[in-house]
Structure 1
Amino acid sequence: MDLQRVCHGLTPAWFDYLRDWDRTLRGGNYPETTRYNYLLAVAQLGRYLIENADELEAGDAAQDPTEVERGHVEEFQAWMVTTRSASTALNKHKGLQQFFKWLVEEEDLERSPLDRVKQPKTAQTLIPILGDAETAKILATCKDKGFLSLRDEAIIRVFYNTGVRLSEVAGL
């Protein structure tokens, strides 16, 4: 992961905190995708504060993450819901929660600005499940007995019978 790229446009103070937090996450053996998503959430908050510093009265917070207040986070979250989605805002919320929790643990903050910030509500969406007919059509694409067809059929059956995630099958 290119931390310089993730932190593009942030002040040195924001970058230093993100670099140190990334070191802690790496030391905790967090997966790279988790680290990236967490760091991106914090970097996006930092850039949002820089771009909206005057309107949000966030000049200090735009320079230093230890100056972020509850209202700044709520405005960022509302902006995320409006410009992205509630699900995206929820993911960012979780990343920010972890970052500010770490700042409290490091004793750089007495209290997290997210302590009383509610998570964005997301609509419960049901994931469509393939029926027997759709599954049969997919398995029919593996009709010959060559290695690739047998492999593909095995992978499809693992997905179908266990509900496993793609990343989990890829790790087998």
Structure 2
Amino acid sequence: MKWENALKDYQMYLKIERGLSQNSIDNYSLDIRKLIKYLEAHNDAISPTDIKTESIQQFVYETAKNVNARSQSRIISGLRSFFNYLVFEDYRETNPLDLIESPKIGRKLPDTLSEEEIDKLIDAIDLSKPEGERNRAILETLYGCGLRVSELINLKLSDLFFDEGFIKVTGKGDKQRFVPIVEVTQKFINIYRSEIRNHLPIQSGHEDTLFLNRRGKQLTRAMIFTIIKQLAEKTGLKKSISPHTFRHSFATHLLQNNADLRSIQLMLGHESITTTEIYVHLDKSHLTKVIEQYHPRK
């Protein structure tokens, strides 16, 4: 069995049976391609059905010289998943990663912004330029609805149910959820739609896309990152932030204001409550207040 054939079969499995998005499939495939490239560089023509633990251990050892423990752990996890698939499909009897341990890493807590820092970033937007109103609506939507950047750029006009107070969001694996949207966020989206978007030369195929570039096409993930990076530099913010920082801040601020984890989980679109529970670790003072207010022996 050739590596490329095994990888294509695995990608199809991830898409059809696990329902992963193309972005997730690409991430899973990246480390397998690194292994393939490593074997080619060492003139090792061994197939995925015959490769032994020793060969993969050497690859991991060589890779570990250039990456941190967290990246090394991700590589091992990705390869383990690939070989588990080969075992499941009876291409192999054992997983060569079973004897390879991942490095122990601490749980990385996401960076967050304070309400003041978010206000400062939004206030720094130049509203004298056409893209200013769009960028303000983008940041308000990221923070106001807790969206992933992929969910934001794929948001449609037909996903807006402002009369009901919700937007329809298509998340990972094309799973859809309804997220509440407050009036202030609705206001800035409507300003952008009426004053900016309605005057753009909208390209064919993008008529229903909410946020557009000046050429009337869908924005890219990279463009959202750039907008936020430039605002951070403009305001002198020392934190390293991304679109995901607004999502983390959305969840953290809800928790700080006594929202329950289950509701936050639903709004974020997390499959497991354990993913949402990471926000509990962000603010220990909040937990102290909960104990003081609700425990019978306070």
TM exceeding 0.5: yes
How is 1:1-150 mapped onto 2 (pairs within 5 angstroms)? 13-28=2-17, 29-52=19-42, 59=44, 62-142=45-125, 144=127, 148-150=131-133
Aligned AA for 2:141? V
C-alpha contact (below 8 Å) 1:46/1:65 kept by paired residues:
no
Write the distance in 2 (CA, Å) between the matches of 1:163 and 1:127. 14
Write the distance in 1 (CA, Å) between the matches of 2:10 and 2:111. 38
Output one character per residue of 1:111-154: Cα deviation in whole Å (capped at 9) or x when no partner: 11112322233454444322344222211134749975444333
Write the distance in 2 (CA, Å) between the matches of 1:120 and 1:72. 18
Aligned AA for 1:26? K
C-alpha contact (below 8 Å) 1:14/1:63 kept by paired residues:
no
- Stretches of structure 2 lacking an aligned partner (at least 5 in a row): 156-298
Count of aligned pairs: 154
Give the 3 Å change call, closer, same or farther, for CA 132–119 of structure 1 in structure 2.
Answer: same
- Stretches of structure 1 lacking an aligned partner (at least 5 in a row): 1-11, 54-58
Larger helix proportion, structure 1 or 2?
A: 1
Write the distance in 2 (CA, Å) between the matches of 1:171 and 1:116. 41
The match for 1:56 is none
Larger strand proportion, structure 1 or 2?
A: 2
Give, in angstroms, the shift of residue 171 of structure 1. 3.0
Aligned AA for 2:9? D
Write the distance in 2 (CA, Å) between the matches of 1:139 and 1:32. 31
The TM-score with structure 1 as length reference comes to 0.71
Over the residues paired in the alignment, what is the CA RMSD in angstroms? Answer: 2.8
Give the 3 Å change call, closer, same or farther, for CA 161–81 of structure 1 in structure 2.
Answer: farther
Write the distance in 2 (CA, Å) between the matches of 1:114 and 1:102. 12
Output one character per residue of 1:24-48: Cα deviation in whole Å (capped at 9) or x when no partner: 2332332212222222211211222
Partner of 1:113, secondary structure, is: coil
Output one character per residue of 1:46-105: Cα deviation in whole Å (capped at 9) or x when no partner: 22233336xxxxx4xx32011122222222222222123323222222221221011001
Write the distance in 2 (CA, Å) between the matches of 1:34 and 1:109. 24
Q: Percent same amino acid among aligned pairs?
A: 27
